[in-house]
A and B are shown apart, each in its own frame.
Chain A
């Protein structure tokens, strides 16, 4: 399991310096760490978070947005009609609820279709694993810099240490 502070440090080392989002339990440890470091700006909806991140990007920051995958539904229009057409990159840290069909009912549909959904709208994505973490982060940084569009890193349950082990 990756410690939350190691995860946050890796993002900061990559140059990420604007963090916003809406919580999910899988992201609890990461958000707590961001709050400890006083670098987290909470949003009330994922589309708002994506909009704030876009503004911060245009003002010179490297932004990341944390969200549950249900928030991809909420923010889809902003991702495609703002980020993608205006060429505004953003790192999406997305918790993968409903993966493998084992979760509460509200997560099952998005949990199953999420990778195809992002492929359909052409948002590059990758799933973080402990073994490949260094490459995963390198890929995120490279995609962010070269593609000028949102890039998603999926976080599955138990890969990054949460609040309740």
Chain B
């Protein structure tokens, strides 16, 4: 167990706190447990649950953000996912979409496949994002801080990254129930206009 582990909240607790602050913003959620937990906590038509294409959640969110500059677009990501698609931090940092918020639930493991360690314990992903050109980046460890910082990011111009250190706890969530084409259809309809 890591030194701070005992004091960290779970990804599900962090996600529930964030989803309480969101209403109809598009949220693109990475594959694995993060999508399943988001689906369990609040299943909104504005959620795009990714089940494959590991590493591509921020790329999908970037496409939405560029096409809809007046909508704030959020992506919920995992540390393993960010490491796989790390080039997209550079693309986001260079293009600087103001309406882009990147939330990373960093449990320092590939939790979905059995808690194999990632390397985010030694590679601070929020610093990589900052160096790549993200405008606001914050690393938080507890619920009060994440709520405070996320509220601030919702009011600021991005791109922003909120990296939340979470423990390895996994909510009993089950798989996402909707068919993938149905996820596409309802997401498209929900973010129209």
Chain A residues proximal to chain B, CB less than 8 Å: 18, 41-45, 47-61, 63, 77-78, 80-82, 85-88, 148
A18, A44, A82: which contacts B88 (Cβ < 8 A)? A44
Q: Is B60 an interface residue (CB 8 A)?
A: yes
| Count of CB-CB pairs between chains A and B under 8 Å | 109
Chain B binding surface SS class: helix
Given known A-B contacts A59-B64, A60-B192, A51 and B184 have beta carbons under 8 A apart: no
For residue A56, which residues in chain B have a CB less than 8 angstroms away from its CB?
A: 63-64, 66-67
B54, B88, B181, B191: which contacts A48 (Cβ < 8 A)? B88
> Number of B residues contacting the other chain (C-beta, 8 Å)?
34
Q: How far is the CA of A130 from the CA of B54 in the complex (A)?
A: 38
- Using an 8 Å CB-CB cutoff, how does the interface string of B48-69 with A read, 1 for contact, 0 for none? 1011111111011111111110
Chain B residues proximal to chain A, CB less than 8 Å: 28, 48, 50-57, 59-68, 85, 87-88, 90-91, 95, 180-181, 183-184, 187-188, 191-192
Listed from nearest, the 5 A-B pairs whose CB atoms lie closest are A55-B63, A81-B52, A51-B59, A59-B67, A51-B56
| 18 contacting pairs across A/B (C-beta < 8 A) | A43-B91, A44-B90, A51-B60, A51-B62, A51-B88, A55-B61, A56-B67, A58-B63, A58-B188, A77-B52, A78-B52, A81-B51, A81-B52, A82-B56, A85-B52, A87-B180, A88-B184, A148-B181
